[in-house]
Amino acid sequence: MKKISIVFSLIFALSLTNCANESQSEIKVISPEEMQTLLELDDVQIVDVRTPEEYKDGFIGNSQNIDFNSPTFDEDITKLDKSKPVILYCKSGGRSAKCTEKLKDAGFVKIYDLYGGITQWKFKGLEIKTFE
C-alpha cells in the first residue's frame, strides 16, 4: 500500500512539473495601442508573417519579414531570440494567430499577436514604412 501511495505522489509531482512547463509560454492578443507601448521596449522583436510581396507594400517599422507560407518558416523562426518578446502580425490576424502556436511549441516565452493585423494598424492611422 505504501508503494502505491509513493507512485501516485510521484505521478502527481510529475504532472505538476509538466503543467509548469506548459505555462512558461505566454500568448497575448494585443491592440495597436498596446503594441505601441511594447515597441518602446528595446528588446522586443517584431515579425511580419506576410509574403515578401505584401511586406514590400508597407510594413510596421523595425519589423522583419518571415513568411508564414515559406517552406523554411520553422527554420527561420529559430533565428529569433526565444528569451525576448516577439510581436507577430499579418494582414488581418489569421496567419499570425497560427504562428503564435508554432512559436509556443518552439519554446518562445512571450508572444504577442496584433489584433486585426496591419489592417487594424493602418485603420488607427499609425505609421507604415516602405522601401522608398
Out of 3.40.1010.20, 3.20.20.70, 3.40.710.10, 3.40.250.10, which CATH number does the structure's domain 25-123 have?
3.40.250.10
DSSP H or E run through 63: strand 63-65
**Rounded-to-integer distance, Cα 26 and Cα 103, Å:** 10
Higher pLDDT, 121 or 132: 121
pLDDT for res 78: 92
Q: Mean pLDDT across the stretch 24-51? A: 92
pLDDT score of 8 more than 80: no
Q: How far is CA 103 from CA 7, 20, 35, 71, in A?
A: 34, 17, 18, 16
pLDDT for res 132: 74
Q: pTM here? A: 0.80
**CA 93, 97, 81: angle at the middle one, nearest 5?**
115
